[in-house]
Amino acid sequence: MRVASFGLAVALMCEMVSAAAPTPHDVEGPFYPDALPADIDDDLTTIHGHAGRARGERIRLGGRVVDTDGKALAGVRIELWQTDAGGRYIHSGDPLPGQRDPDFQGFGVATSDEFGRYRFTTVVPAGYASRPPHFHIRLLRGAREILITQLYLPRHNGERGIDASRLSLREASQTLRLGRAADGTLTGDFDFVLGNATPP
Ligand SMILES: [Fe+2]
C-alpha cells in the first residue's frame, strides 16, 4: 500500500513537472476589427487582388496548440490582429492620424493541423503610445471562444520590442522566441497551452 502510494506520489510529481502552464489570458483591447477584411488568410503581408506588399519587416509566426500535457489540439481557429508597421489597426476607430498601410491585411486566421501546428506570415507591428509591439490573439473551437491573449516581441535590431532580460513571469509566458529562417526572415515561435479553464 505504502509502495503504491509512493508510486502515485512520484507519478503526480512527474506530471506536475512535465505539465506546461496554460497561456495567460489578456485583454482583448479596443481594436478587434469592426469589419473583417475580405482576405483573412494566414499571410497578412499580401491582400488578394493587391499588387503591393505590406511595408515593414517580415516575421513568420508559428508553433503549436497543445493542452497542459503537451497533447496536440487540432482544428483550433487562431485569429491574429495587430498594427501595421506604422502603428495603425484596420479598425475604423483607430485614433492614430495618417493613412494605414493599404497593403497590410491587419487580421488573419490560421487553423491548427493534426499535430497542433499553425503558422502566420506577417510584419513586425509598431508599438503605440506606451505599449510595446504586440500581437492580439483569439482562439476558438467552432464558434466558442477559448482564449484571448496578447504576444510580445523581444527587442531585436536594437530598438523594437521588450527587454527579454527584464520580463515578469507572466510576460515571459506571452513572449515569442525569436530566430531566423534559412532565408534570413525573422521567425517567432510560440506554443499556445490550453488548460482546464479553457478545455478544447
Ligand atoms: Fe493592441
**Distance in Å, CA 90 to ligand 1 centroid:** 11
**Distance in Å, CA 170 to ligand 1 centroid:** 17
Q: What is the CATH number of the domain that holds 181?
A: 2.60.130.10
List the domain range (segments joined by +) for residue 56: 19-194
**Distance in Å, CA 9 to ligand 1 centroid:** 44
**Distance in Å, CA 81 to ligand 1 centroid:** 8
> Residue 8 domain-assigned?
no
Give the pLDDT score at 61: 98
Give the pLDDT score at 107: 98
> Residue 130 domain-assigned?
yes
- Lowest-confidence pick of 45-59, 97-111, 126-140, 149-163: 149-163
> Residue 100 domain-assigned?
yes
Give the pLDDT score at 197: 57
Instruction: Name the one residue in this structure whose C-alpha cell is 500500500.
Output: 1
d(CA 187, CA 46): 18
3-state secondary structure of 9: helix
pLDDT, tens digit, for every residue of 148-185?
999 998 876 655 666 766 677 777 789 999 999 999 99
**Distance in Å, CA 126 to ligand 1 centroid:** 10
**Distance in Å, CA 164 to ligand 1 centroid:** 19
> Residue 93 domain-assigned?
yes
Q: Which residues contact 130 (CB under 8 A, 6 or more apart)?
A: none
**Distance in Å, CA 24 to ligand 1 centroid:** 16
Structurally, the chain folds into a number of domains equal to: 1
**Distance in Å, CA 136 to ligand 1 centroid:** 6
**Distance in Å, CA 10 to ligand 1 centroid:** 43
**Distance in Å, CA 58 to ligand 1 centroid:** 18
Mean per-residue pLDDT of the chain: 87
- Kindly indicate the confidence band of residue 1, based on its pLDDT and cuts at 50, 70 and 90: very low
> Residue 134 domain-assigned?
yes
Residues composing the chain: 200
| Radius of gyration of the CA atoms of the chain, in A | 19
Q: Which three cell numbers stand for residue 57?
A: 519587416
Give the pLDDT score at 56: 95
pLDDT, tens digit, for every residue of 28-85?
999 999 999 999 999 999 999 999 999 999 999 999 999 999 999 999 999 999 999 9
